[in-house]
Amino acid sequence: MKISQENINTSRRHMLKKATVMATLAVTSGISGNVLAKTANVSDLSDTKEWCYLPIPKQAQASEGVLPLSGGAGLYYWDTGGDGPAVVLSHPGRGSALTWPYQQPVLSAAGFRVIAYSRRGYYGSPAGSADDTGNYADDINALVNHLDIKKFHILGLAAGGFAVSDYAVSYPNRLLSMVIACSLFGLWDKNIDERLDAILPKSFHNLPPEFKELGPSYRWAHPEGVREWIKMEEKSRGDGPRHGQKAKSNISWDKIRAGNIPTFFIAGGADLYQPPSMMRAAAGEIPRSQTLVVSEAGHAVQWEQSELFNRAVIEFFKKHSS
């Protein structure tokens, strides 16, 4: 039977689409190897649906406050409350507690108690004295103790992943699970970090924030979303100084592995800071960790493709809530 060129092309397109879906979700089965996972839970995510612009949804009701810290510092936070498993959101360097408008109502509706905070010097959080900057882990611990939370899930995006890793090493018994999105834990790994200079030229840091953070597909398709992101980023900067902050603990792969905390890595396929190959290298250090690569998303994956991001995170948290 003669097969037309058109049928061959159609078959190739079908195979390519299927392969793309199958390659989206990977699970790390050990320290050195990745295997493809079952994709039934993500195969219904069509590109058309994910790339429809989603206006910022109505937020769930939440209480707000500022937790006083030593040296005149403080942590602004919001808390949806409730009896469900608690989730603490740790924001990127270009964000604050305002980073999560697409996550707050969705996670709350899924039955979680959702908390986000601004690190010292970011939106709503007084920086305090330059002589008393505290550390990532103790600040989070002070907040969850203030809110009377015993165990919880934690999610860190970009620079927020530094705080997550510090907490995971310093207080591992408090965590149910951790999600690391577009971040490399804040530890220095010679094999991984030395390559960073090869992908980020010195002039990169002078580029506009939206260029560095948002993927080109999103910037082209959704200028209204870019404008909203810029408003959030500018507001998140805060009004006062920032003194920087360090980790409480010396973070290493051995210490992270010793905590035996269920870990989910999420990478943006178009992330200029932490490309998927770099995220997979980090995930390879954590046995049984799970890895999701979100096609076309940049460094702000939770903003650009929030439906896929939320669905994956909720499924992971529910799996590890008991």
State pLDDT tens for residues 50-67: 467 889 999 999 999 999
* Amino acid, single-letter form, for residue 47: D
pLDDT > 90? residue 17: no
- Name the pTM for this structure: 0.85
Mean local confidence (pLDDT), 133-155: 97
Q: Report in angstroms the alpha-carbon separations of 288 from 8, 42, 147, 258, 291.
A: 39, 19, 31, 13, 10
Side-chain-facing half-sphere of 306: CA atoms under 13 Å: 17
- Could you count the other beta carbons within 10 Å of the beta carbon of residue 204? 12
Mean local confidence (pLDDT), 167-193: 90
Q: Which residues contact 206 (CB under 8 A, 6 or more apart)?
A: none
CB 316 within 8 A of CB 110: no
Q: Are strands 86-90 and 152-157 parallel, antiparallel or unpaired?
A: parallel
Mean local confidence (pLDDT), 162-168: 97
Give per-residue pLDDT as tens, 266-319. 999 999 999 999 889 889 999 989 999 999 999 999 999 999 999 999 999 999
| Letter string b/e over residues 128-143, b meaning 16 or more CB atoms within 10 A of that residue's CB | beeeebbbbbbbbbbb
Give per-residue pLDDT as tens, 63-80. 999 999 999 999 999 999
Task: Report d(CA 97, CA 77) in Å as an integer.
Answer: 7
Q: Please state the length of the chain.
A: 322
DSSP secondary structure of 183-228 = --TT---HHHHTTHHHHS-GGGGGS-HHHHHS-HHHHHH-HHHHHH
CB 213 within 8 A of CB 270: no
* Amino acid, single-letter form, for residue 63: S
pLDDT > 50? residue 18: no
Q: Report in angstroms the alpha-carbon separations of 181 from 48, 82, 164, 174.
A: 23, 25, 11, 20
